Amino acid sequence: MTADAPRRATLDDALAIMRDLRARDAWDKAQTHESLRPYLNEEMHELDDAILAGNDAEMRSELGDVLLQVLFHAIIAEERGAFDVQDVAGSLVQKMEKRHPWLYGDAPAREPWEQMKSKTRRSLGDGLPAGLPSLHRAHRLQERAAGVGFDWPDVTGPAAKVREELAEVEAVIAEHGATFDTHGVPSGDARHQLLEDELGDLMFAVVNLCRKAGVHPALALDRANGKFQRRFEAIERLAAERGVEVRTAGLAVLDAMWDEVKKGE
């Protein structure tokens, strides 16, 4: 570092400014663990957006915002006499060493994580956050079950299960028809609940196929969402250029434009 170069801030600097804000700023001083929950959730989503966009500058900034939340909670706990940031760091180190006994202990070889955790877990869902998104929860439940041997050896089984569940969905639709009323609102009756159950089984089977194929279903769906949005917005632009009204064009016209957009990618 040259004599004129500014000193880089450190984690100690971040802690110092957070403690100062807690002492001298009314808003920061008023915050509690509970009041900060919405901000932590928001910052995690903003970081996820930055990662998805591949924007390093935004990622650095959003990681700082997530770190702010970590330090905020640690300092509030410190003020309560519960624990401090050093205890948080110690917990992290302890967990990493415990999770890698083949590196930091006397385990002879690496053991799959879910297999290790199954020895101390009280039940399949033990420790999974209540607010975990359904897609990720399905993936984690399947990982945990696989950790104790409840798993197919390869993708053949999950792929066959997807076909089986799809056939069951089609059978319910063929027997009962649509489960929506005349206004397009789910009927909520037994037919609708049956179809909801079967579609849930189908989605769960697809998640399992993703897992066995080494693909996280949430990431796969993110890519599919992005692809669909990109292509449909291209259809909207193409329709505007040709004077086509998207809302009244009809499926055949829009489907042809979809194929045109897809070929042009």
Per-residue pLDDT of the chain (265 residues; tens, 9 = 90+): 555 678 899 999 999 999 999 999 999 999 999 999 999 999 999 999 999 899 999 999 999 999 999 999 999 999 999 999 999 999 999 999 998 999 999 888 888 888 888 888 889 999 898 888 999 999 999 999 999 999 999 999 999 999 999 999 999 998 887 655 545 555 567 888 888 999 999 999 999 999 999 999 998 999 999 999 999 999 999 999 999 999 999 999 999 999 999 999 8
Residues spanned by the domain of 41: 11-104
Distance CA 84, CA 9 (A): 21
In a domain, 72, yes or no: yes
In a domain, 259, yes or no: yes
In a domain, 158, yes or no: no
Domain boundary among 104, 132, 149: 104
In a domain, 34, yes or no: yes
In a domain, 39, yes or no: yes
Distance CA 102, CA 200 (A): 39
In a domain, 89, yes or no: yes
Task: Name the domain count of the chain.
Answer: 2
Rg from Cα positions in the chain: 26
In a domain, 61, yes or no: yes
Residue 207: φ, ψ to 5°: -60, -40
In a domain, 186, yes or no: no
